[in-house]
Structure 1
Amino acid sequence: MVKEKSVIYQELKQIGLQELQENMSRALRVAVMVAYPDGRPLSEPSNLCSFCALLNSNPETRARCVASRAASARAAVATEKEVLHTCHAGLAYLAVPLRVCGEIVAVVLGGSVALRPLAEDAVARLARETGVDLGELRAASGTMPVWDEEKFRAIMTLVQTLMENILQLLHAKHEIKKKADELNFLFELSKAVSGSLQVDEVAKRGYNLRWS
């Protein structure tokens, strides 16, 4: 079991998780974010398409987007496998568990793409429900990336591999540091014990000399 997950999370942020995620998502042309196992965001979404960016700029629809991503992350943890989910706006998200030593420590979500073009009536209904301008929403939906599922899963497998390698390295670094600290403690303890034995030996000799 992986202990001290909080240390891994802290170091993940310290090495620049958000910047790494931004670069990776732009290179792969997919939106990416990382979540804690309970669905809370560990990073902010990167490289949202214009349709998602428009929805996330509206407080009401942003709340729906956040809830949808959190539900996907929790589902991936509950099933212990990747989960393909259609969000409230009709876009595809793939939630993939990230493991260290076989244990799920985080979830990476990829999405902001459609597996098929959004229907006009679906866009109109979304505009009515959320209050987002229909013209802007319709224009953004026209530029939305449309991928086939096989390509989507292949891209997210690559993202999973990259993220898990980083997590494994951070875990290994933490374990090495912990072992080094333990060895240093044992070394200092041995010095202290050795020193106390020498003091006892001197005291014993002094006692013998006094009473001889």
Structure 2
Amino acid sequence: MDIRSFMNLDMLQHIQDSFSKATGVAAIAVDSQGQYLTRGSNFTDFCMKYTRNNPEGARRCQKCDTECKGTYFCHAGLMDFSSDIIVDGERVGAIIGGQVLPCEPEEEKFRSIARELGIPEDEYIYALRKVPVRSEEQIRAAASMLGEVVNQLVNLEYFKSLNSKKMAIFDEEMANAFETIKEIQNMTRSLQKCATMENILSINASVEAARAGAVGVGFAVLAKEIGQLSAEASGVYQNIYDSVESIRVSITKMSKVEL
């Protein structure tokens, strides 16, 4: 299932941007293949310009991205999160982010990381000082809230799209049903006319048989039977017509129901 086929990505971007602006927590949405659905919100230079832009730093970040779930501490000491987007039991993507410190950083620890990665220490520390600081409880609560909001939004859009498709099919089949009903009614009317003609012919045959006297007795009996059958057939055709008309009325009422 491709989330792009039913999700308004501008709406998702708006929710994500608002979340990051309110909390200071970075966020971005990806599809089931890890391809970006939205632009990153509140991404930090510490992570993007320095850590992830460094070969060894990128390798460590990718390991965290692949192996870590929920809210967790990344290799660089920041808190990140990953929350799956589930639609109808299927994982269609994830909302990921974080890049937040759970407490004031110990600069010497990060200088050590900078030396390991071969990043200029002072630049790394300068970028570190711009990273938002939130309590671990706040970070976990924010990540959980964003995950729930995004899942509710995506599922709402999915079912709106699904219902829209169902209604389009319903309207098409409704039109087909009306056309079929019209055809059945036309054929029934034709059969009723045939039955009427048969009845007239049986009456004429009975008159001619009476004129023939004894010679026409057998023919008169046959003409009488044909007349009875045509009368019965006419009644059956009328019942079919009335039943079909009842179906047409019911379908018309259904088509006018507003959801």
Q: Is the Cα contact below 8 Å between 1:91 and 1:115 reproduced in 2?
A: yes
Structure 1: segments with no counterpart, 5+ residues? 77-82
Structure-1 residue corresponding to 2:140: 153
Alpha-carbon distance change, 66 to 10 in structure 1, aligned in 2, over 3 angstroms: farther
Bigger shift: residues 142-151 or 200-209: 200-209
Alpha-carbon distance change, 129 to 202 in structure 1, aligned in 2, over 3 angstroms: farther
Q: Which has the higher contact order (CA 8 A, sep 6+)?
A: 1
1:170 to 128, 132, 157: 157
Does 1:42 pair with 2:37?
Answer: yes
Q: Which has the larger radius of gyration?
A: 2
Does 1:110 pair with 2:105?
Answer: no
1:20 to 15, 22, 31: 15
Q: Cα offset for 1:177?
A: 0.8
Residue type of the alignment partner of 2:159: A
2: CA distance between counterparts of 1:19 and 1:127? Answer: 34
Alpha-carbon distance change, 189 to 175 in structure 1, aligned in 2, over 3 angstroms: same
Bigger shift: residues 99-108 or 177-186: 99-108
Does 1:60 pair with 2:50?
Answer: no
Alpha-carbon distance change, 56 to 182 in structure 1, aligned in 2, over 3 angstroms: farther
Q: Is the Cα contact below 8 Å between 2:20 and 2:27 reproduced in 1?
A: yes
The structure that is helix-richer by fraction is 2
> Equivalent residue of 2:92, what SS?
strand
Cα deviation per residue 1:130-149 (whole Å; 9 max; x = unaligned)?
44332211111123223222
2: CA distance between counterparts of 1:16 and 1:66? Answer: 28
What fraction of aligned residue pairs are identical, expressed as a percent? 24
Structure-2 residue corresponding to 1:95: 82
Structure-2 residue corresponding to 1:141: 128
Q: Cα offset for 1:154?
A: 1.2
Q: Cα offset for 1:189?
A: 1.9
Q: Cα offset for 1:103?
A: 4.7
- For the aligned residues, what is the CA RMSD? 3.2
Q: Number of aligned pairs?
A: 199
Structure-2 residue corresponding to 1:180: 167
Residue type of the alignment partner of 2:120: D
Cα deviation per residue 1:18-44 (whole Å; 9 max; x = unaligned)?
243122211221101122345443323
Q: Is the Cα contact below 8 Å between 1:39 and 1:71 reproduced in 2?
A: no
> Equivalent residue of 1:12, what SS?
coil
2: CA distance between counterparts of 1:22 and 1:10? Answer: 22
With the length of structure 2 as denominator, give the TM-score of the two structures.
0.62
Structure 2: segments with no counterpart, 5+ residues? 202-259
